[in-house]
Amino acid sequence: MAGKEEAGKLMVSPGSAANSTEASVDGPAAVFPSAAGSIYKEGDESFESDKGVTAMDKMLGEANLSSAVANQPAAAPPGPNKGKVRLSKAEIRTIIALKPEQHPSADYLDDLAEYFPLEWIEERKRAHADSVELFKKMDDDFEEYRQEVIASVRDKGYYEVDEELIANRERGNENAAEQWKKIDWTGIQIAIPEDRLRDSDSYRPYVPDQDDALVEALVIE
């Protein structure tokens, strides 16, 4: 239900999560998805809780709320919309962590000039450029989706997907598990994470940023 703002009145509209691809608030009305990240709006004045604790304390003081009420934990958002499933905090963390990275250069091919014909090197450079273009398109599409998830977390405290998507994922996982059982692992040694880290010259530890902090602060299990 879209909200309306009239002179001297405060109208409230719960942001619609039915269209999960559009992580936005419909209309100028105030939205309260949770105590964190909510927007208080009346007339031309507005307050966003993620602007800082000081502003929140000021607003609570003006409302003369007791400390017991002011210190209550954020209430969990209402249940998912019909036909929708909310991703878990762990799933959202994974999506947020998959940030775009710079694609590798083809400069290494020049170092192979003494071992391979020039025509071969030029052909490999063209193939490399085609791959970079393809992966950039994939990265751009996923980054659009990642930003959609971030916006939904910021506005609502959760992210919803269609039930069918989850069902398809579960069927895919079951099929992969069955195929995995058919593989003959005789003589194959699986490297553990410690081995990969020790043997990798380009290992870079993951550094959380403000988007990761947003998930930790707003998403309620």
Tell me what the mean pLDDT of segment 90-114 comes to: 91
pLDDT the model gives residue 104: 87
Q: Is 144 among the domain residues?
A: yes
Answer yes or no: are the C-beta atoms of 150 and 217 closer than 8 Å: no
**Is the pLDDT confidence value at 18 over 70?**
no
**Is the pLDDT confidence value at 24 over 70?**
no
**Is the pLDDT confidence value at 61 over 90?**
no
Element (H, E) at 85: strand 84-86
**Is the pLDDT confidence value at 11 over 60?**
no
Burial 12-34 (b: 16+ CB within 10 A, else e): ebbbebeebeebebeeebbbbbb
Count of domains forming the chain: 1
**Is the pLDDT confidence value at 55 over 90?**
no
Q: Is 168 among the domain residues?
A: yes
The token pair at 88 is: 């878990």
pLDDT the model gives residue 30: 35
pLDDT the model gives residue 70: 42
Answer yes or no: are the C-beta atoms of 48 and 56 closer than 8 Å: no
Q: Is 19 among the domain residues?
A: no
Q: Is 43 among the domain residues?
A: no
Confidence of residue 45 (pLDDT cuts 50, 70, 90): very low
Tell me what the mean pLDDT of segment 157-186 comes to: 93
Share of the chain above pLDDT 70, in %: 58
Tell me what the mean pLDDT of segment 137-163 comes to: 95
Q: Where are the alpha helices (DSSP H) in the chain?
A: 53-62, 67-70, 89-97, 118-156, 163-181, 193-199, 210-218
Q: Is 169 among the domain residues?
A: yes
Q: Is 73 among the domain residues?
A: no
Tell me what the mean pLDDT of segment 71-87 comes to: 68
> Which one, of 220, 94, 58, lies nearest residue 153 by Cα?
220
Share of the chain above pLDDT 90, in %: 44
Q: Is the C-alpha dihedral spanning 148, 149, 152, 154 positive or negative?
A: negative
**Is the pLDDT confidence value at 44 over 60?**
no
Tell me what the mean pLDDT of segment 194-214 comes to: 76
Q: Is 112 among the domain residues?
A: yes
Q: Is 196 among the domain residues?
A: yes
Tell me what the mean pLDDT of segment 96-110 comes to: 90
Other beta carbons within 10 Å of 149 = 21
Give Cβ neighbours of residue 170 (< 8 Å, ≥ 6 apart).
none
The token pair at 8 is: 């001297």
pLDDT the model gives residue 206: 83
Domain that includes residue 192, residue range: 84-218
**Is the pLDDT confidence value at 94 over 90?**
yes
